[in-house]
Structure 1
């Protein structure tokens, strides 16, 4: 995606920076695709309606329904069909009063998230429900790595590359991508499986992260890329 390069990397063709991956050491990470945040019947949508602001969020929910959820489902189906690792990160605190939350999730405004484990709003939307054997980590931070044992789990499973999706692009997804990159993982950010409050915020964050913290790809590009790697390894093994 050459159009998503900032001035920092304008002189480097995207193709030259393309990563090499081992599908067997690659995991999908779906971030915060939870009822509270992305369902039109969720608490966030209800609050927006009560405050007379839902029209400003309409494009966000349109992208969720028509782009992000279908593409996350497509990726889940692909990873599961190829027996690749599937993981989820979600916002969910242990205490009902939320006293175990990080400061970033107590600040006034949209980020003041009180979502205890067991609350229906904490669950992934029905279309993206984790299977029984898939890892789900609970976080009280923006990054899936910070304050959880997610990195430890990835190391135990020998994972080297993480394919990241979810919401919102400019907050929890971006924080997670940066943490993964700093921890030494290769990261693919699936642009059309993510969403932010506005297209402008989404596009800006994608452009900032591309090449330095991750490789930005579409859903179809990601599936094609991993499929080619699977096929090449299958031929070599024969």
Structure 2
């Protein structure tokens, strides 16, 4: 029966162009397809299961063509398309075609409706993706396309394994070319496919399903070696600081709001209904960081959020907002450690493990940021500080606000991913990602240990420059 017979196109029966329905029966013992029925391209969405590999529904369907573009009156458009209803014999032993069952990748199976037909690019992408998933690289060997002199030629693409062929020296056999031939990755792999089609209709035929080698196991590649320059800390998205000026004369540590009201039971955060375990777990980490900075002579600043006892620094909106919780307690309310977030109360003070020593200023701020309504910027400018290492709580509120304020004032900031904490992990993660956007719009993100290592490196370099001490 000729699928292009005009009489066939005059009735309601669609011509048989070799399409298969969405219901396919894959026989594990063979490499072919056992179609249950044939249908026109306007079949319902496909429901195909691969023997191995990705679902066809997940494959790209770009460059879709309209069926009205097909020239069904020209037999030359379809005369060279091979018969798709083929059953391939099981492969011989010691071959590996089962790792790449490409006969099921006939793109006719991927036609969900009449206005969606695969392109040549989609076919190649599907074949190569399936091959890589099973350890084989499928490459284009050659291709042919219609020309002005041969407009009826069917477009074809021959595909083979990248191990096909053998090494052929161009300048004769020399000792060097012999060595190259011995180490060549080419081994005459016989695996071969051919894809043929016209606009919108592409088919795939397996000429030889066997490989003469096993799947290629790619060795895990080591990440490119990244050497941090002197005076910098390994960070993302750029090594910090940008101008390699990590010294005690230009860099300071800022520990944000490690107060009992935020880190201890019975404090402000506790009455707000938030989990304080992340803030408590942060204390040992910051002890290690603080000790490193102190031992190397880096300046350290601490911040505390709180208000005057008469609440003259507390706006009515902030007072209302702070009481908008299940307990009804807010700023200024009595608690086990005194009035919440009020200067001079026990809860307002910094936890004992991180308490400032002499020479470490404390910035008392009435809001979230350490620069608003404080003399913090003046203290930094007087010491020529331009780089800030920021740690503390909470990541998404006071830490983030201080970092943004510093960025607007020209400071180069790095926030410690494992040196900060939030009430919820998602808030912490989102804040870290926002810092890294646009090449580091607010600064950089680093690990606490990397910063400590940079401090230790500075100490070692400084000790080497010191003259030896004369024995008395």
CA distance in 1, matches of 2:369, 2:411: 14
The aligned counterpart of 2:424 is 198
SS of corresponding position for 1:40 = coil
Note if 1:98 corresponds to 2:327. no
1:229 Cα deviation from its structure 2 partner: 4.2
Please tell me whether the aligned partners of residues 33 and 166 of structure 1 are also in contact (alpha carbons under 8 angstroms): yes
Picking from 372, 378, 381, the partner of 1:155 is 381
2:247 is the alignment partner of 1:23: yes
In 2, Cα distance between the equivalents of 1:15 and 1:208? 11
1:109 to partner: Cα distance = 3.5
Q: Retained in 1: the 8 A contact 2:301–2:362? A: yes
**Distance of aligned partners of 1:145 and 1:104 in 2 relative to their CA distance in 1, 3 Å threshold:** farther
Deviations 1:90-127 (A, max 9, x none): 11222x23121357743414795342221111100111
Matches within 5 A, 1:82-231: 82-94=296-308, 96-101=309-314, 105-109=318-322, 113-114=331-332, 115-210=341-436, 211-231=440-460
Cα 1:16–1:127 shift into 2, 3 Å = closer
What's the offset of the Cα at 1:232? 4.5
Contact kept in structure 1, 2:296 and 2:455, CA below 8 Å:
no
Deviations 1:55-112 (A, max 9, x none): xx4xx4322222x111111111111111110111111222x23121357743414795
The answer on whether the counterparts of 1:181 and 1:213 sit within 8 Å (CA) in structure 2 is: yes
Aligned-residue CA RMSD (Å): 2.4
| 1:116 to 1:42, Cα distance in 2 relative to 1, 3 A | closer
Equivalents in 1 of 2:236, 2:442: separation in Å? 13
Identify unmatched segments of 5+ residues in structure 1. Answer: 1-12
Indicate the structure whose relative CO is greater, using CA pairs within 8 Å and at least 6 residues apart. 1
With structure 2 as the length reference, what TM-score do the two structures score? 0.42
SS of residue matched to 1:130: coil
Which structure 2 residue ranges, 5 or more long, are not aligned? Answer: 1-234, 325-329, 333-340, 468-472
Total equivalences in the alignment: 214
More helix by share: 1
- Could you tell me whether the CA contact under 8 Å between 1:34 and 1:121 is conserved in 2? yes
Of structures 1 and 2, the larger Rg is shown by 2
Question: 1:191 Cα deviation (Å)?
Answer: 1.4
Alpha-carbon spacing, 1:143–1:230, altered in 2? closer, same or farther (3 Å) = same
CA contact (8 A) 1:105 1:140 kept: no
Q: Deviations over 1:10-38 (max 9, x none)?
A: xxx94655422232221111111101111
Distance 1:221 1:104 in 2: 41
Q: CA 1:119/1:88 → structure 2, altered by over 3 Å: closer, same or farther?
A: same
TM-fit CA distance, 1:171:
0.7
1:209 Cα offset (Å): 1.2
Tell me, yes or no, if the aligned pair for 2:240 and 2:414 is still in contact at 8 Å.
no
TM-score of the two chains, using structure 1 as the length reference = 0.80
Q: What is the CA–CA distance in structure 2 between the aligned matches of 1:97 and 1:26, rounded to whole Å?
A: 36
